[in-house]
Structure 1
Amino acid sequence: MERNGVLVQQKYMEYLGSTMGFIVSLYLASIVDGILVSQLISPAAFAAINLTLPVYYARNILFFLFVDGGAVLAAQFIGARDKVSCARVFTISIAWGAAAMTLLGIIGCLLLSPTASLLAGNSSLQEAVADYLLPLWLTGPLLILTNGVSSFLRLEGLHKLAIAIPVVANICNLAFDYLFIAVFGWGIAGAGWATGAGYVCSLLLLLPYLRRPDRSWHLTAIPADNQRIFRRVMAVGLPMAMIPLGLVLRNLAVNGIAVETLGDMGALTVSLCNAALLYALMFADGSSTALASVCGALYGEMDQKGVLQVLKRSLRLTFGLCLLIFLLIFIFPAEFIRFYGVENITPELILYLRTSIIYMLLLAHVFILRAFYQATRQEKAATIFSLLEGVVLVIGLFFLLSKFSLVLMWAAPAISAVAAIGWLVWYMRRQARKMGRDSFLLMQQEKNSAVWETSIPATVEAATEAAEAVDEFCARFADLDSRQSYAAQVTVEELCVNIAEHGGLGTDGHIDVFLRLQEQPVSEIVVKVRDGGKPFNPVHFLDEQGEEFSGLLMVRKLTTKIEYARILGFNTAIVTIGKRGPK
């Protein structure tokens, strides 16, 4: 009997759907927002918005540090069934994150004029840039409150609500765009205020959730001396925060070179190249965000095979989507450019665009590998990789290649990605050799434990076969007494039979079964049974209706401890069988 990965991959696809819907809605709003501004005002206004991207990405540094770091760390704590730490992480991510974003916005407003001058350079767009920067700075806290909370709602399994919040925000944003620009005549500033108004509308969707007494996420007090968890949130979020940091520096560098060389047309060229990249970025970002959440929880459960299965599926899917976007824009560049209201299409502009989108072919590996190492507690490797790929190499190559050719300059992101991936594989292989491992993925492993795992159909017959396989596995260990072996068999059979009869999975349902023998010689057995059926807590039913569930009652009598957790929308029962029997 072998582990087939069906259950984990089904859950990943479920998370991918909600996460992709969330991320894609954000990117599409930016894409459509740019098109509306270009059509309702002018292509110059669209170029002015692009010049503010360094500030947009600067806000995202805080967002990724607090929210992305918090969501991934919370997923790990969910897997480890640590509810207290989950509440503290949520508080740091949302409350402290919103406070930090407010402070950043105040500082940004005080420096509005010099910032606009820096971003616009010698172009004629300084006033338009300043008009857009004001609402951009002031709406930062709303970004944390709406999209940040949505990230945590996905971990609770509330996928529809998690998607609805950004979708409503973006639909309202587009409606307010037309109202504020075309009707009220607020110009480019109206586009910024429309974004904030959309956030406010989406917050109304959270009111029913906040009134629920059984909700998973609460703000809580954090002890003044407990700085460890804050540092962990920052450390986990740092690899992803390197992405917007790199984009800040990249946009400052490229905008400066392009505007200095080509003036307003240079700003427009940069805008088009960035707009093209957004179409692939939304898929890479969505897929990697889903991977980080799912792999973080699986890693917290010590389900390494499940983590690898999700990694492979995510990498294939993300590369396929990015390849499709690349081919469409590469084959039809003129049509893409006209979509943004630009009529003066030169061969040089098409060449710059085609060269810049080569980076799309590497986005899957860049985003997925970064998220994987982030989720598996290898933040150091992920952070250095992000710093190299998104900051050090790309900025250096932009300046270096611009001295030779503007065409080569646009290849800098692709070249830096190849170099950074090469470094990452080399570095992780070297670390693996030091630890006596043969894989550069280098996930941490439990010491002194033996593991058996399988996937079975959700049927009574399969449950009986799984129990027999448990007996065969336990027979390999001479120091494992017969009472422990028998208790493990009964536990697996009764839990799986209960899922088959009451889980509502049907004939196509699957159950994952794990058996871990802790330490050598064996001191205890840990049995974990996971299914994707309707919520069912065997501990609760043992307390309330033990008489009616005699099989589960037998499990309690034979084992040391039985726990239940709802992890990633899975029912997960964890049973410990000690050497001396139940306490």
Structure 2
Amino acid sequence: MGTASIPRLITEFAIPSVVGMLINGSYAIIDSVFLGHAVGEIGLSAMTVANPIMIVFMALAMLIGNGGNALAALRLGEGRREDAERALGNVVSLSLLAAVVVLFIGWNPVLVNGVLDLASATEEVRPYALTFIQILCSGFLLQCIGMGVNNFIRTCGAPNRALGTMVVGLASSVAFNFLFVIMLGWGVAGSGLATVLGWGCSCATVLWYFCGRTDVPMRLSVRSMVPNVPLIVTILGYGLPSFCVQAGMAVVNFVINFQLVKYGALTPIGADDALAAIGVVQRIGQFTVMPLIGIAIALQPLLGFNYGARKVARVRKTLWYGIGAATSIAVVMFAGVELFAVPIAHGFGIKHDGLVDFTAFALRVQFLILPFVGFQIVSANYFQATGQPAKSVLLTLTRQILFLVPLLYLMPEMLPSLAPGLTGLDALYFAAPVSDLLATGTTAVFIAWEMVRLRRLARLCAQGAEA
């Protein structure tokens, strides 16, 4: 990682990472497609209510897994293998603890119903969403290890094997969804069970890599799993930016659901169908962002290793190549959404013409600034990979919360007065592109200053080498 061609390394690491993140994003899409066709709009509405909770689960997995992986990459770059193994072991221990907490919340009637209230579940949708959430809570440990620990396989220099563990999980989920939802007619419960079993298959292959092999840079052992408080604090600190990306999405989803129920009830579409439409937008939104996050994750070990080794020129080159790759993917995703918005709505089982048109409109508006989002995500992750988590957290929050949440409240109130043809429900979707534009500008300022700092660091390293 410290000497090979940067473009070749990025390609080698990014392709499996991007495909892997697309696979992670495909779980929710698969559930929605099967439920949309088998159950109808009520199934999509239930998924929309459950979506912020599912994002929280992913956020916890990334908090633990990405934080530990970032630390392990830095330690390997410094030649400290035992410390890298301790990071891996403590990630597994944290996953066990998080799974107990999630299980308690999911099966505590007061707590889980409070979460459903926060997600703006209507009385018709609530039973379906409750069933789905409780099943996912029961299998959270499998997701946390299957997704979080998977990133360590990339740091071990085996990105294709990391991808293979994800493919196993997704293929299993598709097969179980078809069996449980289509063949057996188990509906929402079948979809939730299929998702958990898919996580389980992925988890098994990840654990086998670290426990069943001896030719890996890091191994998982009982000794490495002994909790170390300072190490855990460092892992959580490094993982906080990744957590904020997903947790920010969850907060936004809670707010959007509330606003949808509020403004959807004032239109002929209605609250439940508005939830179904936003469910499609959310699934596609997560899917389009996943490859961009995949690029950022793929760059993490390269940036961390070279920054730890003080190879500043390679750090800069990795960052700019990564931004170029993410932007290219974002442009392709943007074109796909704009051109195929209507077929996408049909693909999720939406049949009513008015709802199809509204869903297509929402898709096109939501992703207006998508070509610039790759720069923002990769740049924010750069600060995490180089041991500057506070900056990464701040930049992540600008896009996910600091700009977007206020706009979700302001747009429905202000935009209809400026454009009388738009309803409050229509205006709600303009919040995302405006937020993306503001966040990209803020990130550009931070990156410009970071380039100045790296030039200074390079000069200091050169002077030290001469001395």
SS in 1 for 2:350: coil
Q: Note if 1:260 corresponds to 2:272.
A: no
Alpha-carbon distance between aligned partners in 2 of 1:15 and 1:82, rounded to the nearest angstrom: 22
Deviation (angstroms), 1:287: 0.8
Q: Which runs of 5+ in 2 are unaligned?
A: 265-270, 415-423
Larger displacement relative to structure 2 (54-63 or 203-212)? 203-212
Deviations 1:105-126 (A, max 9, x none): 2122212333334424335211
Label 1:40 to 1:296 Cα distance change in 2 as closer, same or farther (>3 A). same
For the Cα contact (< 8 Å) 1:322–1:361, is it kept in 2?
Answer: yes
Alpha-carbon distance between aligned partners in 1 of 2:452 and 2:459, rounded to the nearest angstrom: 19
Label 1:288 to 1:345 Cα distance change in 2 as closer, same or farther (>3 A). farther
Deviation (angstroms), 1:301: 1.6
Label 1:417 to 1:442 Cα distance change in 2 as closer, same or farther (>3 A). farther
Q: Say which structure is richer in helix.
A: 2
For the Cα contact (< 8 Å) 1:362–1:414, is it kept in 2?
Answer: no
Larger displacement relative to structure 2 (237-246 or 199-208)? 199-208
Give the AA of the match of 1:302: R
Alpha-carbon distance between aligned partners in 2 of 1:158 and 1:137, rounded to the nearest angstrom: 30
Alignment of 1:206-285 (within 5 A): 206-207=207-208, 209-215=210-216, 216-219=218-221, 221=223, 227-262=229-264, 263-285=271-293
Deviation (angstroms), 1:300: 1.4
Alpha-carbon distance between aligned partners in 2 of 1:106 and 1:443, rounded to the nearest angstrom: 50
Alignment of 1:10-29 (within 5 A): 10-29=8-27
Residue 36 of structure 2: aligned partner? 38
Alpha-carbon distance between aligned partners in 1 of 2:146 and 2:122, rounded to the nearest angstrom: 37
For the Cα contact (< 8 Å) 2:21–2:294, is it kept in 1?
Answer: yes
Give the AA of the match of 2:237: A
Alpha-carbon distance between aligned partners in 2 of 1:444 and 1:297, rounded to the nearest angstrom: 19
Residue 389 of structure 2: aligned partner? 379
Label 1:102 to 1:385 Cα distance change in 2 as closer, same or farther (>3 A). same
Q: CA RMSD in A?
A: 2.5
Residue 465 of structure 2: aligned partner? 517
- RCO (CA 8 Å, sep 6+): is it higher in 1 or 2? 2
Deviations 1:414-445 (A, max 9, x none): 2222222333344565x66xxxxxx3574772
For the Cα contact (< 8 Å) 2:168–2:202, is it kept in 1?
Answer: yes
Residue 129 of structure 1: aligned partner? 129
Larger displacement relative to structure 2 (372-381 or 26-35)? 26-35
Alpha-carbon distance between aligned partners in 2 of 1:84 and 1:375, rounded to the nearest angstrom: 20
Deviations 1:492-549 (A, max 9, x none): xxxxxxxxxxxxxxxxxxxxxxxx726xxx2xxxxxxxxxxxxxxxxxxxxxxxxxxx
Deviations 1:132-190 (A, max 9, x none): 11111111110122122221111112233211111111111111112222333322011
- Which among 366, 388, 392 is matched to residue 398 of structure 2? 388
Label 1:447 to 1:7 Cα distance change in 2 as closer, same or farther (>3 A). closer
SS in 2 for 1:275: helix
Q: Note if 1:115 corresponds to 2:115.
A: yes
Deviations 1:11-61 (A, max 9, x none): 121111221222122222332232112112223202211211111111122
TM-score for the superposition, normalised by structure 1: 0.71
For the Cα contact (< 8 Å) 1:18–1:159, is it kept in 2?
Answer: yes
Give the AA of the match of 2:151: S
SS in 1 for 2:348: coil
Q: Say which structure is richer in strand.
A: 1
TM-score for the superposition, normalised by structure 2: 0.88
SS in 1 for 2:220: coil
Deviation (angstroms), 1:311: 1.4
Deviation (angstroms), 1:351: 2.5
- Which among 266, 279, 289 is matched to residue 297 of structure 2? 289
Residue 421 of structure 2: aligned partner? none
Deviation (angstroms), 1:228: 2.9
Label 1:376 to 1:152 Cα distance change in 2 as closer, same or farther (>3 A). same
SS in 1 for 2:213: coil
Residue 54 of structure 2: aligned partner? 56
Give the AA of the match of 2:234: R
Alpha-carbon distance between aligned partners in 2 of 1:423 and 1:8, rounded to the nearest angstrom: 27
Alpha-carbon distance between aligned partners in 1 of 2:15 and 2:336, rounded to the nearest angstrom: 23
Label 1:179 to 1:224 Cα distance change in 2 as closer, same or farther (>3 A). closer
For the Cα contact (< 8 Å) 2:90–2:227, is it kept in 1?
Answer: no
SS in 2 for 1:517: helix
Residue 543 of structure 1: aligned partner? none
Alpha-carbon distance between aligned partners in 2 of 1:223 and 1:90, rounded to the nearest angstrom: 8
Alpha-carbon distance between aligned partners in 1 of 2:197 and 2:232, rounded to the nearest angstrom: 31
Residue 412 of structure 1: aligned partner? 431
Alpha-carbon distance between aligned partners in 1 of 2:156 and 2:447, rounded to the nearest angstrom: 33
Residue 486 of structure 1: aligned partner? none
For the Cα contact (< 8 Å) 2:18–2:292, is it kept in 1?
Answer: no
For the Cα contact (< 8 Å) 1:33–1:191, is it kept in 2?
Answer: yes
Deviation (angstroms), 1:233: 1.2
SS in 1 for 2:465: strand
Residue 96 of structure 1: aligned partner? 94
Give the AA of the match of 2:383: Y
For the Cα contact (< 8 Å) 1:48–1:128, is it kept in 2?
Answer: yes
Residue 177 of structure 2: aligned partner? 177
Deviation (angstroms), 1:224: 8.7
Q: Note if 1:306 corresponds to 2:314.
A: yes
Deviation (angstroms), 1:220: 5.4
For the Cα contact (< 8 Å) 2:312–2:458, is it kept in 1?
Answer: no
% identical equivalent positions: 19
Instruction: Count how many residue pairs are aligned between Structure 1 and Structure 2.
Output: 445
Label 1:166 to 1:441 Cα distance change in 2 as closer, same or farther (>3 A). farther
Residue 352 of structure 1: aligned partner? 362
Deviation (angstroms), 1:267: 0.1
Residue 200 of structure 1: aligned partner? 200
Deviation (angstroms), 1:314: 1.4
SS in 2 for 1:358: coil
Alpha-carbon distance between aligned partners in 2 of 1:5 and 1:337, rounded to the nearest angstrom: 47
Give the AA of the match of 2:435: S
Larger displacement relative to structure 2 (18-27 or 165-174)? 18-27
Deviations 1:74-126 (A, max 9, x none): 11111111112201211221221232232222122212333334424335211
Residue 154 of structure 2: aligned partner? 154
For the Cα contact (< 8 Å) 2:70–2:238, is it kept in 1?
Answer: yes
Give the AA of the match of 1:176: F
